[in-house]
């Protein structure tokens, strides 16, 4: 396999047919943005953030600008970013008033002595981040289609750069009609995403159930045991489905650039770019999951 590689999903769920091309379009744009960062020598971490920023900005996916509201009508966002080579992560939970929680999560990882912040505390960290000029809010709003929030459209990616470093992200507005203060799998290390020096994975679907089997850590465990990446995602999905009876999807890659994805939902728009921009593969993943 030729490096760098990026694999990106736009959420697994019961996508209405007309929304699948929209999801794929934005996942592709995000994958290209992230890939270009690494092509130009940027790190897996930079690429993962850049890719996720596009999906948080687009207004057509359940993250950032386009995120769902909770049952009180408030957008409470969860996000996590992971630097696999350092086994470090930052996450934010149920944070409000933020368009790009992925950058805030990175700030948590790089600039604070903690790994996770929630609610009002996360908002204070956000204000500090802006004051320090670490990031400015990118108020790009690309919405091109009316929003239809029936589905699980969390976003995430896994990246592998030219130096063999792996990063992963997840960013979401959470599930529909969630209660105020609810936190899902997306900001939980090992559940909604995971990466180390060997491999990385990121998940989407019913967070309450993904957490119970630490879905992304389960994928990584299989890869660490020498199981190929595609089979590892399918085996982890089998564990998830048989233990919880629930719905989810997961994407993953290893340090050699092998990748895999699996879902038991209707669709999970996914794009992979490996080696160069001509090597771009798009999938809705509708056929990718088989019970074994």
Contact set with ligand ASP (CB under 6 A): 11, 62, 152-154, 172, 174-175, 184-186, 204-207
Smallest separation, CB 74 to ligand ASP (Å): 15
Catalytic choice (2, 96, 143, 154): 154
Least distance in Å: CB of 101 to ligand ASP?
A: 12
Q: Please, what is the minimum distance in Å from the beta carbon of residue 269 to ligand ASP?
A: 12
**What CA–CA distance (Å, rounded) separates 27 from 23?**
6
Q: In the complex with ligand ASP, which residue's Cβ is closer, 85 or 204?
A: 204
CA distance 108 to 212: 25
In the bound state with ligand ASP, the residue whose beta carbon lies nearer, of 220 and 251, is 251
Q: Which is nearer to ligand ASP, 62 or 218 (CB)?
A: 62
As measured in angstroms, the least distance from the Cβ of 247 to ligand ASP is: 10
Closer residue to ligand ASP (CB): 57 or 154? 154
- Concerning whether 154 is annotated as a catalytic residue, the answer is yes
Q: Which residue is nearest to ligand ASP (CB)?
A: 207
Residues belonging to the active site: 154
């Amino acid at each position: 396999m030729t490096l760098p590689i990026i694999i990106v999903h736009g959420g697994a769920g019961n996508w209405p047919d007309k929304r699948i091309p929209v999801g794929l379009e934005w996942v592709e744009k995000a994958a290209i943005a992230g890939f270009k960062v690494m092509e130009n020598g940027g790190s897996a971490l930079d690429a993962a953030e850049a890719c996720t920023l596009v999906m948080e900005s687009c207004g057509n996916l359940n993250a950032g600008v386009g995120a769902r509201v909770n049952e009180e009508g408030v957008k409470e966002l969860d996000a996590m970013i992971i630097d696999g080579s350092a086994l470090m992560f930052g996450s934010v939970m149920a944070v409000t008033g933020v368009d790009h929680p992925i950058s805030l999560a990175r700030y948590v990882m790089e600039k604070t002595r903690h790994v996770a912040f929630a609610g009002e505390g996360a908002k204070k960290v956000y204000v500090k981040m802006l004051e320090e000029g670490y990031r400015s809010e990118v108020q790009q709003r690309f919405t091109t289609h009316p929003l239809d929030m029936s589905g699980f459209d969390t976003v995430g990616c896994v990246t592998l750069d030219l130096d063999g470093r792996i990063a992963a992200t997840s960013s979401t507005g959470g599930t529909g009609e969630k209660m105020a203060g609810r936190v899902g799998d997306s900001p939980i290390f090992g559940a909604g995403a995971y990466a180390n020096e060997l491999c990385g994975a990121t998940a989407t679907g019913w967070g309450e159930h993904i957490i119970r089997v630490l879905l992304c850590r389960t994928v990584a465990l299989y890869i660490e045991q020498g199981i190929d990446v595609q089979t590892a995602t399918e085996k982890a999905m089998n564990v998830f489905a048989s233990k919880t009876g629930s719905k989810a999807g997961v994407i993953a890659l290893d340090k050699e650039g092998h990748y895999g994805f699996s879902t038991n939902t209707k669709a999970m728009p996914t794009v992979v770019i490996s080696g160069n921009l001509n090597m771009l593969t798009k999938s809705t993943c509708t056929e990718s999951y088989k019970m074994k």
